[in-house]
Amino acid sequence: MTDKVSTSTASLNKFEKFKAEKDGLSVKAEIEKFASLGWEAMDETDRDHRLKWVGVFFRPVTPGKFMMRLRMPNGIITSDQMRVLAEVLQRYGDDGSADITTRQNIQLRGIRIEDLPDIFEKFHSVGLTSVQSGMDNVRNITGDPVAGLDAEELFDTRELVQQIQDMVTNNGEGNPEFTNLPRKFNIAITGGRDNSVHAEINDLAFVPAFKEDNGQWAMGNGEETVTTSSSPTPHSLLTTPQKRFGFNILVGGFFSAKRCEAAIPLNAWVPPEDVVAVCRAVLEVFRDNGSRANRLKSRLMWLIDEWGIEKFRDEVERKLGTPLPSAAAKDEIDWEKRDHIGVHKQKQPGLNYVGLHVPVGRLYAEDMFDMARLAEVYGSGEIRLTVEENFIIPDVSDSRLETLLTEPLLEKFSVNPAPLTRALVSCTGAQFCNFALIETKNRALAMIKELEMELEVTHPVRIHWTGCPNSCGQPQVADIGLMGTKARKNGKAVEGVDIYMGGKVGKDAHLGSCVAKGIPCEDLLPVLRELIIEHFDARLREAVTV
Ligand code: SRM
Ligand code: SF4
């Protein structure tokens, strides 16, 4: 580790100080002790902060009932794993619930500290890990949810995502090399054409791009064979000019209360076999040089600003030990974004993937048992999660499709939801999150129901709710984004929202911007109604008068 990590403690923020005193990952060895001590008697820094290194989040809103955030590389979970999560929740009765997150992941709620040893053992038995899923770590790595199923995809990212996760987390056991980053770090990689991962809002993203190969490609710079720090296999030189598949690299995308930025091109291209090495190099550069003074200015983009993109790229190449080829002239993100809901043909003849809509991502134990059952009975036992907080059952044969569509779970999790409901996304909000300025999930659902009753809408309108400026619900990627704030009404402070519009996803993605501030939530319904009518071709249903 480097100068910046070991800088005198005077210049470090309070998070850096407690990390310097004791690495977050060290709580992994103390779980039994915490379980017998109980949450009230534990050291507060361990409880409120360091436990997040193993994915356990103290919730000031529900003290004693913790949240656990898993890791689901590429959003993939097996039926056995889902059943284990359901069993964990089941013991907590009404306190137990789960959410599919905006990073294709699952969080469990209601967890008691005394149960952690048993829960970790259960996770281990089915290959689940929650390690390094919070705080200054690499978060769940997102990938195309239909990787390996989509006939039009350019590259199946599943293995790559798993390899990146294994590198970052030491195969899920925890990797001290990357447990003390200056701040959180998001990685996404897609081999599909519709940017299903929102590449532009990640600190590091890989998007598909073909590179003209004139006998020189990748890290070899024209030499006959090359190796990289983490890929011992020599790459063979292609001798005839042709197009070679790889990824253009984007860096520095992030949302925070202080600033939001879309990722910018590193002007570099990488073949699939070198992606893990590039991730490692970028992480090392960030770890060793990112600012640890002001936590509001610690995300990767702040370092890129300080250095300029050229120096940043030079440093990454220095870590890699070899230059990166410049980016391909264009990337292959040329489709509008799909939401994967409904029945779709797979590239494997006779098989289908079925996308089910989960209202604002909220799940209960019985839903999860049922999801596992459906995946086993009708598919191959696999479940895929999406960044829209929904899930997909792949590998459903033509012959079983009709019966699947009659399953009672599909009444709750529809394959054909109404257009506004279909595209609704919400962060956790005040029910469980102490940062929240407003209630989100429940309010979002209630309001969308009213809007569906009032409006005839011909196509989905992507409405994203987020309870505070941290933007976990990604309002800047939405058609209409709603960000919790304090508003004033009749001289009183009330729950309100700032409204964002213009977020474009898929091809030519760009962030939306704030168009109205401080709308009291109680006045929001008519405002949304008007926006949807004016901008998204909706009209009032005939029977409705407003
Ligand atoms: Fe987030 C902090 C929930 C995706 C930006 N986020 C939090 C915490 C951990 C705060 C806390 O301790 O209460 C929230 C936990 C609440 C709870 O009980 O659920 C929380 N974030 C979430 C989730 C669950 C929202 C959801 O409903 O899906 C998402 C979990 C993803 C995962 O599986 O890992 C989630 N958070 C995001 C995203 C979206 C994304 O990654 O695409 C963002 C914006 C993108 C980004 O990070 O650049 C996001 N969360 C933040 C931030 C602002 C980061 C910053 O640089 O300032 C915070 C606050 C912080 O880290 O200090 C935060
Ligand atoms: Fe909590 Fe704010 Fe994130 Fe919503 S956006 S989960 S309220 S931190």
Which protein residue's CA is at the shortest distance from atom 4 of ligand 2?
467
φ/ψ (deg, to 5) at 481? -110, 140
Which one of 50, 59, 65, 69 is the catalytic residue? 69
Ligand 2 centre to CA of 165 (Å) is 25
Count of C-beta atoms within a 10 Å radius of residue 72: 26
Arithmetic mean of pLDDT, 331-353: 96
Q: How confident is the model at residue 544 (pLDDT cuts 50, 70, 90)?
A: confident
Indicate which residue's Cα is closest to atom 30 of ligand 1: 101
Tokens standing for residue 494: 């009330």
Burial class (CB in 10 A: 0-12, 13-18, 19+), 545: exposed
184 is catalytic: yes
Atom of ligand 2 nearest to the CA of 428: 6
Ligand at minimal distance from the CA of 360 is 1
Query: 408, 419, 417: which is closest to 373 by C-alpha?
Result: 408
> By the 8 A CB rule, do 116 and 35 touch?
yes
Residue 31 contacts residue 312 (beta carbons within 8 Å): no
Residues 6+ apart with CB under 8 A from 314: none
Catalytic residue among 184, 244, 400, 412: 184
> From the CA of 102, which ligand is nearest?
1
pLDDT, tens digit, 9 for 90 and up, residues 420-433: 999 999 999 999 99
Q: Give the residue, out of 254, 256, 427, with the most ligand 2 atoms within 8 A of its beta carbon, to mutate for a pocket test.
A: 427
Mean pLDDT of the chain: 93
Percent of the chain with pLDDT over 70: 93
User: At 316, which helix (H) or strand (E)?
Assistant: helix 309-320
Q: Which of 374, 376, 358, 384 is nearest to 148 (CA)?
A: 384
**What does the pLDDT look like over 170-228, one tens digit per residue?**
999 999 999 999 999 999 999 999 999 999 999 999 999 999 876 554 454 433 333 33
Is 468 assigned a catalytic role? Answer: no
Q: How confident is the model at residue 543 (pLDDT cuts 50, 70, 90)?
A: confident
Helix, strand, coil percentages, rounded to 5, for the chain: 35, 25, 40
Quick one: pLDDT band at residue 234, thresholds 50, 70, 90? very low
Residues forming a β-bridge with 425:
464
Sheet with 142-143, side-by-side order of all strands: 142-143, 187-189, 204-213, 242-251, 264-270
Crossing angle for the helix pair 309-320 and 300-307, to the nearest 10 degrees: 110
Q: What one-character-per-residue DSSP string does 386-411 give?
A: -TTS-EEEEEEEHHHHHHHTT-THHH
For residue 201 and ligand 1, the question of a CB distance below 6 A is answered with yes
Q: Give the tens place of pLDDT for each residue, 323-339.
A: 999 999 999 999 999 99
378 lines ligand 1 (CB under 6 A): no
Q: pLDDT category, 3, cuts 50, 70, 90?
A: very low
- Model confidence at 322: pLDDT above 70: yes
Nearest atom within ligand 1 for CA of residue 135? 61
Residue 479 has pLDDT above 90, yes or no: yes
Element of type H or E holding 483: strand 480-489
* Whether residue 469 has pLDDT greater than 70: yes
Q: Is 50 designated active site? A: no
CA–CA gap between residue 310 and residue 23 (Å, rounded): 32
**CA of 104, closest atom in ligand 1:** 33
Q: What is the pLDDT of residues 136-150, one digit of tens each?
A: 999 999 999 999 999
Class of CATH domain 422-538: alpha beta
How many Å separate Cα 221 from the centre of its chain?
34
Residues 460 and 452: their CA atoms lie apart, in Å, by 11
Question: Reduced to 3 states, what is the DSSP secondary structure of residue 244?
Answer: strand
Taking phi first (over 0 means left), then psi (-120 to 50 degrees means alpha), and beta for anything else, what does residue 104 get? left
> What confidence category does residue 232 fall into, taking pLDDT thresholds of 50, 70 and 90?
very low
Contacts 24+ apart (CB under 8 A), 485-492: 485/437, 485/438, 485/517, 485/518, 486/437, 486/518, 487/518, 487/519, 487/520, 487/521, 488/518, 488/520, 489/520, 489/522, 489/523
In this predicted structure, what is the pLDDT of residue 241? 63
Catalytic annotation present for 69: yes
Q: Which two tokens stand for residue 233?
A: 């296999």
Which pLDDT score is estimated for 344? 98
Report how far ligand 2's centroid is from the alpha carbon of 248 (Å). Answer: 31
pLDDT number for residue 9: 54
> pTM of the prediction?
0.94
Distance between first and last Cα of the chain = 63
Which protein residue's CA is at the shortest distance from atom 2 of ligand 2? Answer: 468
CB neighbour class for 445 (10 Å; exposed up to 12, middle 13-18, buried from 19): middle
Give dist(CA 191, CA 147) in Å, integer. Answer: 7
State what percent of residues in the chain have pLDDT above 90.
91
Mind giving me the DSSP string for 190-223? --SSS-TT-GGGSSEEEEEEEEEESS--GGGTT-
d(CA 30, CA 24): 11
Q: Which helix (H) or strand (E) holds 420?
A: helix 419-422
Mean pLDDT of 477-483: 98
CATH fold match for the domains 157-190+197-212+244-336 and 422-538: yes
Tell me the ipTM for this assembly. 0.99
Task: Decide if 47 is catalytic.
Answer: no
| Nearest atom (ligand 2) to Cα of 438 | 7
pLDDT at 152: 95
> pLDDT by residue (tens digit) across 362-407?
999 999 999 999 999 999 999 999 999 999 999 999 999 999 999 9
CA angle 121-380-73, nearest 5°? 50
The class of domain 157-190+197-212+244-336 in CATH terms is: alpha beta
Residue 376's closest CA among 348, 395, 402, 399? 395
Residue-level pLDDT at 230: 38
Expressed in angstroms and rounded, the spacing between residue 474 Cα and the centre of ligand 1 is: 10
Smallest CA separation from ligand 1 atom 52, residue: 470
Domain ranges of the chain: 157-190+197-212+244-336, 422-538
Which pLDDT band, with edges at 50, 70 and 90, does 513 fall under? very high
- For strand 187-189 and strand 142-143, is the pairing parallel, antiparallel, or unpaired? parallel
| Cα–Cα nearest to 105, from 65, 79, 144, 77 | 77
Residues near ligand 2 (Cβ within 6 A)? 427-429, 433, 435-436, 466-468, 470-473
Q: Judge whether 375 and 76 are in contact, CB under 8 Å.
A: no
Q: How far is the CA of 474 from the centre of ligand 2 (A)?
A: 10
What CA–CA distance (Å, rounded) separates 214 from 241?
A: 5
Two structure tokens written together for 372? 């596992």
Verify whether residue 472 is a known catalytic residue: yes
Q: What is the pLDDT of residues 237-259, one digit of tens each?
A: 444 568 999 999 999 999 999 99
Distance between Cα 295 and ligand 1 center (Å) = 15
Between the CA of 418 and the centroid of ligand 1 the distance, in Å, is: 28
